[in-house]
Amino acid sequence: MRPSRYANRYPKGYTGHGSRPPRRVRVSTPCVFVILGGLALCLGAALLITAGGCAPRPAARPLVPGESALGRYIDLTHAFDEQTVYWPTEEGFKLIKGFEGHTEAGYYYAAHRFEAAEHGGTHIDAPIHFYEGGAPLDQVPLERLIGPGVVVEVSDRCLRDRDYQIQLGDLKDWEAKQGRSLNDAIVLLRTGFARYWPERRRYLGTAELGAGAIAKLHFPGLHPEAARWLATERTVKAVGIDTASIDYGQSRGFETHIALLRAGIPAFENLAGLEQLPDSGFTVVALPMKIRGGSGGPLRAVAIVPD
């Protein structure tokens, strides 16, 4: 029998699978160098990664309350508790204790529930609050709630006159002084009344409750003419104020609410901390509870002021 033509190509005793042994692959010398070079690069990269992982990491910057890489955080929100100011016809905030303590399993646990009207404390008025067919709270665009902020300072006038209505001239004076328009801004109106929180008599003008107290409300607000101008002549994102209402206390027709909310401009009421803000150059983030179908709701508003 003739010897197999593969006999001299494989070691003695080789037994392959199938009718013929596996195909031999010939590798040229240049290919060997390429393969070896690639292996060297991979090994070098692995060593670098290992070395990097062993190198000491830079110490993390300690968390400083009120600061971030973006700037300083300014809280514009009053805490909710039994002293939170609500409209005289509304019930106050209630935190109803559920359980607080150590369980039988040995771990600590706390869980409560709360009751609150939509419009009280630091909160938002959604367009539907005074405009039939307006957006409810869950449909207010985020673009209305986050953006560049400006402060229109009118506390000197408001502290002299509790019934002062912020005039169109006050807004135009701000623009003239700053050399820019109020377009695309979240406009915050500082009356100075946040200093009275939560003393109802000083903040609202009366400490009485019930429908009879409405006629005794005395606090500043935005004049309807100024509100209509913001709604039609400017493109503001939202308007906020540090009083109980964007309309002044003696308003009976709530024309300022209607002018703003009809234009889709939400209102932030009972704001805090506006005295800590510059005239402009900061960012407002005002995020409410996302209540489906709500006419308003509790708001956590903050400002970020660059260092």
Average pLDDT estimate for 270-286: 99
- Write down the residue that tokens 């692995």 correspond to: 46
- pLDDT digit string, tens, across residues 248-264: 999 999 999 999 999 99
CB atoms within 10 A of CB 2: 5
> What architecture (CATH level 2) is domain 71-91+118-305?
3-Layer(bba) Sandwich (3.50)
Segments making up each domain of the chain, as ranges: 27-54, 71-91+118-305
Task: Supply the DSSP symbol for 105.
Answer: T
Task: Tell me the residue length of the chain.
Answer: 307
With a CB cutoff of 8 Å and minimum separation 6, the contacts of 262 are 127, 130, 131, 134, 231
pTM, two decimals, is 0.79
Here the tokens at position 253 are 């027709």
Here the tokens at position 220 are 């500043």
Distance CA 22, CA 6 (A): 11
How distant, in Å, are the alpha carbons of 124, 179, 258 from that of 214?
20, 40, 19
CB atoms within 10 A of CB 12: 5
Distance CA 259, CA 69 (A): 38
Distance CA 212, CA 216 (A): 8
At residue 185, φ and ψ (nearest 5 deg) are: -110, 155
pLDDT at 69: 72
- Write down the residue that tokens 């090994």 correspond to: 43
- pLDDT digit string, tens, across residues 198-219: 999 999 999 999 999 999 999 9
Closest CA to 163 of 204, 133, 118, 110: 204
For the ranges 38-42, 100-104, 280-284, the lowest mean pLDDT is seen at 38-42
At residue 201, φ and ψ (nearest 5 deg) are: -60, -40
